[in-house]
């Protein structure tokens, strides 16, 4: 992996911020230019990459499979491997972490929990090590027991203070990720958004 990864990262870092042949200027976050999207080939990841490109960001798609869109450079990385994760995030200003088993029941419960939790831990740890300016990752309504009927929400509208009722390994992994991310943020003084 060494030479291939180094070449892909080098191409990514030397690339100019261009979209459809036009040089674009960043207006939202002038100090954040290079963004890595883990899971960029998935449904949410593809949409995020399109939006970031439209707003002038230099984007690298990090995933196990390439995207059909091919609108951003692709790097084959397994974010459950800490070393690969650190290598993928080098030189980035921010990471949008979407790499995960996206729903319960797609693979075994234990493996869903393991992959989702370890990948998030690795992304947050690598981001802290490399002093990335921003980490963004997605939680899920399943942490509240939704879309299940038991138990019903205690009140509506539901907010961040609502009790959590994870009813699957997927939902439990999202709860663990939120807790781990919060502790990492406090400890390493990084900035994040859920």
Whether the CB-CB separation of 111 and 117 falls below 8 Å is answered with: no
pLDDT of res. 29: 63
**Mean pLDDT across the stretch 62-67?**
96
**Mean pLDDT across the stretch 53-57?**
95
CATH architecture of 2-193: 3-Layer(aba) Sandwich (3.40)
Q: How many residues does the chain have?
A: 194
pLDDT of res. 11: 45
**Mean pLDDT across the stretch 87-111?**
94
Residue of 63 and 179 predicted with greater confidence: 63
Cis peptide, bond prior to residue 29, ω within 30 of zero: no
Is the model's pLDDT at 9 over the cut of 80? Answer: no
Residues 103-120: pLDDT tens digits? Answer: 888 999 999 999 999 999
Is the model's pLDDT at 23 over the cut of 80? Answer: no
Q: Where are the domains of the chain?
A: 2-193
Share of the chain above pLDDT 90, in %: 51
**Helical spans, DSSP H, in the chain:** 2-14, 43-54, 82-89, 109-129, 169-188
Residues 118-131: pLDDT tens digits? Answer: 999 999 999 999 99
Is the model's pLDDT at 27 over the cut of 60? Answer: no
* Cα–Cα–Cα angle for 178, 119, 50, rounded to 5 degrees: 85
pLDDT of res. 5: 44
**Mean pLDDT across the stretch 46-70?**
95
Residues 137-187: pLDDT tens digits? Answer: 888 887 887 776 677 788 888 888 888 888 888 888 888 877 766 555 444
pLDDT of res. 148: 66
């Amino acid at each position: 992996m060494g030479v291939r990864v180094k070449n892909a990262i080098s191409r990514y870092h030397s690339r100019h911020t261009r979209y459809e042949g036009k040089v674009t200027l960043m207006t939202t976050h002038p100090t954040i230019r290079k963004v890595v999207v883990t899971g960029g080939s998935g449904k949410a990841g593809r949409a995020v990459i399109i939006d970031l490109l439209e707003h002038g960001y230099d984007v690298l798609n990090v995933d196990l499979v390439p995207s059909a869109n091919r609108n951003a450079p692709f790097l084959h990385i397994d974010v459950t491997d800490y070393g690969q994760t650190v290598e993928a995030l080098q030189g980035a200003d921010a990471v949008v972490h979407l790499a995960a088993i996206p729903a319960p029941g797609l693979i075994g419960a234990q493996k869903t929990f393991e992959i989702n939790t370890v990948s998030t831990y690795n992304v947050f740890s690598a981001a802290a090590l490399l002093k990335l300016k921003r980490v963004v990752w997605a939680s899920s309504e399943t942490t509240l027991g939704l879309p299940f009927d038991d138990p019903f929400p205690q009140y509506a509208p539901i907010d961040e203070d609502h009790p959590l009722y994870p009813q699957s390994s997927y939902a439990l992994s999202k709860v663990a990720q939120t807790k781990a991310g919060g502790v990492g943020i406090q400890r390493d003084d990084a900035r994040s958004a859920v």
